[in-house]
């Protein structure tokens, strides 16, 4: 800032007459906006002025949020032609155009309004972020507006689409990187063929995501539920009239600030300003997976979905521009450390060229198929062709790639979708086999050390907790009590009153000697499994408390005797109520309350704990009911902690068939959306009073049948007959729709548990039925 002061002075001296005296929202003809001046919209929502992004030393004219401490630019005038310093002016000319002039009065940028405005027109910054040029003779006529020329951001009341009269498109184009607003590779634009579909494109050519057609309520590929929360702030519409076709949105809640950006990452990102955090909160991204963005890592870059940063160069390659890579702009990709020589004879090529083996790669789509029956032949085809950059040989035959290879995606080892790709490399850049061996040994050791460290930490943590528990014995509420085995033997009358048996052991009724309160004691069986389950349960449940989670009161760990002590739940587990006869059947109101309670408990685990906890085994057997049928999640033996930096976790243990999300069945790492799936499957059981595993025909997955009925509007067909139609129809429809959304194949289509809670509490309305098309696959699968 100090550096700029002399400039400012200079500017001030130059501009005596026609500059602005105080902050205003408009320029009149002949007036100019200089260096450090800004226009501020009437209510103070937006400001227009000069800025330089990040550490950049270049200046631009733009519009940003005035009320937000973090400068967030929504529009840039001269994105392609920066100015070197603040000795410049934005002039509203006498004939009604906006002109950006540099220190020599050279034209840098012009608004190029289509109509000539009369002399009394004005340039006004509106409170929705639109900069308009107003015709003086007819103030309702706008001769030019910034919303017709968006940069990378779409705010409520602005639009993207096409003007049928002028042929102009309103397209969002990403910045080059966070410090350079010049157009990057990614854009969002409406279908030029005239449909209502929007595309994300790379270099204005390769389409890598499509919104689907407007259904009347939403875009087909952006179903409403996962985006529920912004819909409580804004309403999206699509308009097609004789002048224009475009999508726009209106505020529902003006106190919330939200924007959608064509991000430099190639994803569309919706942000909502969080007053409490004083920062932008990411609401959703499309495509949801960073590696689904076309060429996000550039030529020869490899995309790793689960690492940060997502792009890496293979051995023998280096980032083409390390400065760009630092700014998370990987589009320049990787270049070879050693240039390839093209030799005429094969034997020469054999010497100079080698192939780098990349395993478990999702192959790029633009392969050329080559006739060859053996992998060696495939190799020599590539070797003989100087333009061949890589080859792969799989069960469909031999494939080669010429020139640059883009869209390399690294999968987990053993992923069925993955193939081995051989990338042509100068022989000197190929790591020798002994080297790789050594690296992998080092890696293995490092991994083992990390694993050991984690195990040690858990042990230390547990032993600390044990000590603490011993200290606080029988004293503090909320902390764990450590029992001796003899005590528990006594309390359970030598394990005589068995309440039931679960996955890892049996549960007995017991009485606390001090208070006489009834508790439940679980004795873990099966030494090895039990040990792990015990640790997980104490680690997770010992730390958290919520009205809808079972409370762990204490434990016993003596040698291989591992026991857990919980609050006693009068009404046992939910499964015992599901298929009961008429007299014991739960009424509709109770079922709905149970559904909300479980959702709240899960939402707490997923979203409110310090670290996200995935329960991993949601099923009626693990839902306990207290005396007023308030549900408590129990059995955390399989729970997984998601560290702050991870979004997925691989688990070798499997939950229960019938509640398993498809990605889990296929061995993928899971997210909290796996619990959402189980919750959805269980919800259908709660509605129907039928167990999905009992529904016989293995080809007809029961939730799929139910989902199909719901999609056909036959919700009553799903309802438990025992209720004899005694049901709140609105609640039934809500529960049915929620359950269908929760069991969507694709985890990104499933709502979060927080969203489910909002729907069940009627905070947000679920006014749009799920897409029937996406449910069909359940019927077939």
The contact set with ligand NAG (CB under 6 A) reads 5, 7-10, 12, 36-37, 84-85, 87, 103, 109-110, 112, 119, 191, 193, 203, 363, 367, 392, 394-396, 399, 419
Q: Is 677 helix (H, G, I), strand (E, B) or coil?
A: helix
Supply the minimum distance, in Å, between the C-beta of residue 130 and ligand NAG. 18
Phi/psi of residue 418, nearest 5 degrees:
-80, 150
- Residue 756 in tokens: 């489910």
Q: Name the active-site residue from 148, 329, 419, 617.
A: 617
Supply the minimum distance, in Å, between the C-beta of residue 333 and ligand NAG. 9
Nearer to ligand NAG, 112 or 484 (CB): 112
Supply the minimum distance, in Å, between the C-beta of residue 699 and ligand NAG. 26
Q: What spatial distance separates the first Cα and last Cα of the chain, rounded to whole Å?
A: 63
For residue 724, say whether it is annotated as part of any ligand binding site: no
Nearer to ligand NAG, 152 or 685 (CB): 152
Supply the minimum distance, in Å, between the C-beta of residue 318 and ligand NAG. 18
User: DSSP H helical segments within 580-652, as ranges?
Assistant: 588-603
> Cα separation of 352 and 368, whole Å?
24
How many CB atoms lie under 10 A from the CB of residue 686? 24
Q: Is 639 helix (H, G, I), strand (E, B) or coil?
A: coil
Within 8 A by CB and 6+ apart from 687, the residues are 591, 706, 718, 719, 720, 732, 735, 736, 739
Q: Are strands 408-410 and 301-304 parallel, antiparallel or unpaired?
A: parallel
Supply the minimum distance, in Å, between the C-beta of residue 304 and ligand NAG. 19
How many CB atoms lie under 10 A from the CB of residue 499? 17
Nearer to ligand NAG, 103 or 269 (CB): 103
> Cα separation of 733 and 727, whole Å?
10
Nearer to ligand NAG, 412 or 607 (CB): 412
> Cα separation of 271 and 284, whole Å?
7
Within 8 A by CB and 6+ apart from 238, the residues are 196, 214, 219, 245, 246, 247
> Cα separation of 267 and 138, whole Å?
41
Supply the minimum distance, in Å, between the C-beta of residue 2 and ligand NAG. 10
Supply the minimum distance, in Å, between the C-beta of residue 66 and ligand NAG. 13
> Cα separation of 526 and 586, whole Å?
35
Angle subtended at Cα 619 by Cα 614 and Cα 624, rounded to the nearest 5 degrees: 95
Nearer to ligand NAG, 54 or 84 (CB): 84
> Cα separation of 640 and 748, whole Å?
20
Q: Are strands 552-558 and 481-482 parallel, antiparallel or unpaired?
A: parallel
> Cα separation of 71 and 54, whole Å?
10
Nearer to ligand NAG, 295 or 671 (CB): 295
Residue of closest CB approach to ligand NAG: 363
Known active-site residue 617 = yes
What's the residue count for the chain?
781
Q: Check: CB of residue 75 under 8 Å from CB of residue 150.
A: yes
Nearer to ligand NAG, 12 or 337 (CB): 12
Residues placed in the known binding site for ATP? 522
Active site residues: 617
Residues placed in the known binding site? 522
């Amino acid at each position: 800032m100090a550096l700029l002061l002399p400039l400012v002075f200079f500017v001030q001296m130059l501009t005596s007459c026609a500059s602005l005296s105080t902050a205003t929202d408009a320029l009149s003809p002949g007036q100019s906006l200089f260096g450090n001046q800004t226009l501020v919209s009437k209510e103070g929502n937006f400001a227009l002025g000069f800025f330089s992004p990040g550490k950049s030393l270049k200046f631009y004219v733009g519009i940003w949020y005035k009320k937000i401490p973090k400068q967030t630019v929504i529009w840039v005038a001269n994105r392609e032609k920066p100015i070197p310093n603040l000795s410049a002016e934005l002039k509203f000319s006498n004939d009604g155009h906006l002109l950006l002039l540099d220190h020599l009065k050279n034209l840098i940028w012009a608004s190029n309004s289509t109509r000539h405005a009369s002399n009394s027109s004005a340039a006004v910054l509106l409170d929705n972020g639109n900069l308009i040029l107003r015709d003086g003779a007819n103030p309702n006529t706008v001769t030019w507006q910034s919303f017709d020329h968006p940069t990378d951001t779409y705010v409520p009341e602005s639009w993207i689409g096409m003007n049928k009269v002028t042929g102009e498109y309103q397209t969002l184009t990403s910045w080059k990187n966070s410090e350079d607003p010049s157009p990057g590779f990614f854009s969002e634009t409406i279908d030029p063929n005239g449909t209502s579909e929007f595309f994300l494109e790379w270099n204005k050519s390769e389409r890598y995501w499509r919104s689907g057609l407007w259904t009347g309520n939403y875009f087909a590929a952006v179903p409403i539920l996962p985006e529920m929360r912004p819909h409580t702030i804004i309403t999206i519409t699509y308009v097609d009239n004789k002048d224009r076709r475009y999508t726009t949105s209106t505020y529902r809640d003006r106190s919330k600030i939200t924007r959608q950006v064509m991000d430099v990452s190639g994803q569309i990102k919706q942000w909502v300003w969080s007053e409490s955090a004083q920062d932008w909160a990411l609401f959703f991204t499309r495509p949801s997976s960073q590696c689904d963005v076309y060429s996000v890592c550039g030529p020869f870059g490899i995309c790793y979905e689960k690492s940060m940063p997502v792009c890496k160069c293979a051995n023998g390659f280096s980032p083409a521009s390390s400065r760009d890579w630092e700014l998370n702009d990987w589009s320049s990709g990787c270049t070879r450390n050693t240039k390839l020589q093209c030799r005429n004879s094969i034997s020469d090529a054999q010497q100079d060229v080698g192939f780098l083996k990349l395993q478990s790669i999702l192959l790029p789509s633009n392969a050329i198929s080559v006739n060859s029956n053996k992998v060696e032949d495939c190799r020599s085809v590539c070797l003989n062709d100087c333009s061949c950059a890589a080859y792969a040989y799989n069960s469909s035959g031999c494939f080669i790639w010429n020139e640059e290879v883009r869209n390399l995606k690294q999968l987990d080892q053993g992923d069925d979708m993955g193939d081995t790709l051989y990338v042509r490399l100068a022989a000197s850049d190929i790591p020798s086999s002994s080297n790789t061996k050594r690296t992998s040994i080092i890696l293995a050791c490092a991994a083992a050390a990390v694993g050991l460290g984690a195990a040690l930490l858990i042990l230390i943590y547990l032993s600390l907790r044990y000590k603490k528990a011993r200290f606080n014995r029988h004293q503090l509420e909320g902390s764990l009590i450590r029992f001796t085995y003899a005590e528990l033997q006594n309390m359970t009358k030598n394990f005589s009153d068995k309440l039931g048996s679960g996955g890892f052991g049996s549960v007995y009724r017991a009485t606390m000697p001090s208070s006489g309160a009834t508790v439940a004691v679980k004795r873990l069986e099966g030494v090895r499994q039990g040990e792990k389950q015990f640790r997980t349960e104490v680690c997770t449940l010992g730390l958290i408390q919520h009205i809808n989670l079972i409370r762990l009161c204490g434990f016993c760990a003596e040698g291989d005797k591992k026991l857990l002590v919980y609050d006693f739940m009068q009404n046992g587990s939910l499964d015992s109520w599901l298929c009961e006869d008429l007299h014991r059947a739960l009424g509709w109101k109770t079922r709905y309350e149970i559904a909300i309670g479980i959702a709240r408990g899960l939402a707490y685990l997923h979203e409110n704990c310090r670290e996200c906890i995935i329960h991993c085994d949601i099923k009626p057997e693990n839902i306990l009911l207290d005396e007023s049928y308030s549900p408590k999640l129990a059995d955390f033996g399989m729970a997984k902690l998601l560290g702050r930096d991870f979004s997925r976790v691989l688990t070798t243990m499997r939950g229960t068939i019938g509640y398993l999300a498809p990605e889990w069945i296929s061995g993928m790492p899971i997210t909290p959306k796996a619990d959402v799936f189980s919750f959805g499957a269980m919800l259908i059981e709660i509605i129907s009073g039928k167990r999905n595993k009992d529904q016989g025909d293995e080809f007809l997955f029961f939730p799929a049948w139910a989902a199909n009925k719901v999609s056909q509007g036959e919700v009553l067909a799903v309802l438990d007959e025992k209720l004899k139609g005694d049901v709140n129809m609105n609640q039934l429809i809500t529960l049915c729709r929620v359950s269908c959304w929760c069991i969507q194949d694709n985890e990104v289509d499933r709502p979060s548990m927080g969203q489910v809670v909002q729907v069940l509490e009627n905070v947000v309305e679920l006014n749009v039925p799920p897409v029937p098309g996406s449910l069909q696959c359940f019927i077939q699968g």
